[in-house]
Chains A and B, each alone.
Chain A
């Protein structure tokens, strides 16, 4: 559904990323995870055709987005960071406005969601809370009924209740109709409930792309205590080890026995070895580091 090949982008002389490649298969929900400034919104802007990468190409529905037929955007739903909409319109006016652009528009889906907000149809969007605005934006996306949804930081500004509501509605909508979703969020707990696959970005590169189930099934956080006079040296396949007063915490896709044997081989003496499964947020921090 989406194919990005060797994307390179700079802001001035600052490299955002070089030769970034990924693809989003049809019918999957893919989350782009990364720290602030790693280029998540830049990627969304490139995917939306608002930004031309310095090199590389991005294809949606098989067409290069630069020079894409505008009518193909009927099948792409876009949620802008902060659930931005035409706030000078009312709930009814904005529905009427968008309905004219999309032949498969389903206003019942939109008004069903709006009826749950308990706001009048003539309420202006600018006078609604951030949570209510998110529901308006979601309702419009669902009414548009696109094949592909691109959501930029959908959780921005939402309290936990509205985040949960947004995710549950979105997941039900997407799974019941086989949509493809590409999304970013800075709240990774939310992603765990929603996404099938994830891409983790660090500055300038992709660390991994894999199904969330596989990631959570294989990734482990290990803790152990270094024996006196023992130090932890550089090791392959180990992510961001931290040592505080002899207590080591690190993440790895290696199983416990393999890690232990590598530590022994490196001459690292340790005790109180333990391993645990982690949630997506801990895996993200483990893989990208705290800083």
Chain B
């Protein structure tokens, strides 16, 4: 099952990896530019006393990636009632769907962990650990949203819709 999911989604995850790393790199370059223009002390002050977070352009990236991941993974299963193929495999249907969801969950986890590590290392060159911790609350919340609300929910809904679709054919 994981082999099938990997074949289906590998190009999406390759593109998502490059895009999200590029966005993280862009954010870090922006911060670096601000440090050069206004000095690190000013940035620290703004971060501590005005709650500036500098990486807010990444706010909706996990959400968007989650939506596209669900579409890329589950829409091909539903087109032409292809889900029947998965349902006919000699194993429990719930197990198959759970494996598909876990695959996407794991890939997104790896992708965003990579993003977080890159941001963590980058931000640590500009800010103290305490400020980095505060700045990280935002992307962590965004990632949680992508996992919980988007991917799992959309995946479940699409599968439910696909299974119900047969009863009206």
* Interface residues, chain A, with chain B CB atoms under 8 Å away: 11, 41-42, 45, 48-51, 70-74, 76, 78, 80, 82, 84-89, 93, 96-97, 100-102
Most A C-beta atoms less than 10 A away, residue of B84, B85, B90: B90
A86-B85 in contact given A70-B91, A72-B90, A93-B7 (Cβ < 8 Å): yes
Interfacial chain A residues near B85, Cβ < 8 Å: 80, 84-86
- Contacts known (A82-B80, A88-B7); A101 close to B169, Cβ less than 8 A: no
Q: Which of A73, A80, A102 contacts B81 (CB 8 A)?
A: A80
Asked if B133 is at the interface of the complex by the 8 Å CB criterion, the answer is: no
A78 lies within 8 A of B88 (CB): yes
Contact B168 A50 (CB under 8 A): no
B91 to chain A: closest residue by CB: A70
How many residues on the B side are at the interface (Cβ–Cβ under 8 A)?
Answer: 21
The interface residues of chain B lying within 8 Å CB-to-CB of A48 are 84, 87-88
Are A80 and B4 in touch, CB under 8 angstroms? no
**Interface mask (B1-37 → A, CB under 8 Å = 1, otherwise 0):** 0011001100000000000000000000000000000
The 10 closest A-B CB pairs, nearest first, are A73-B90, A74-B90, A50-B166, A78-B88, A84-B80, A71-B90, A88-B8, A70-B91, A70-B92, A97-B4
Q: In the complex, what distance in Å separates the CA atom of A45 from the CA atom of B168? A: 11
**Complex Cα gap A97–B92 (Å):** 17
A89 with B7, Cβ < 8 A, contacts A48-B84, A84-B82 known:
yes
Pull 7 A–B residue pairs with CB atoms less than 8 Å apart, ordered by A. A42-B169, A48-B87, A84-B82, A97-B3, A97-B4, A100-B3, A101-B90
> Separation in Å of the B68 CB from the closest CB of chain A?
16
A97 to chain B, nearest CB (A): 5
Those of B59-115 within 8 Å (CB) of chain A: 76, 80-82, 84-85, 87-93
Nearest CB in chain B: distance from A148 CB, A: 12
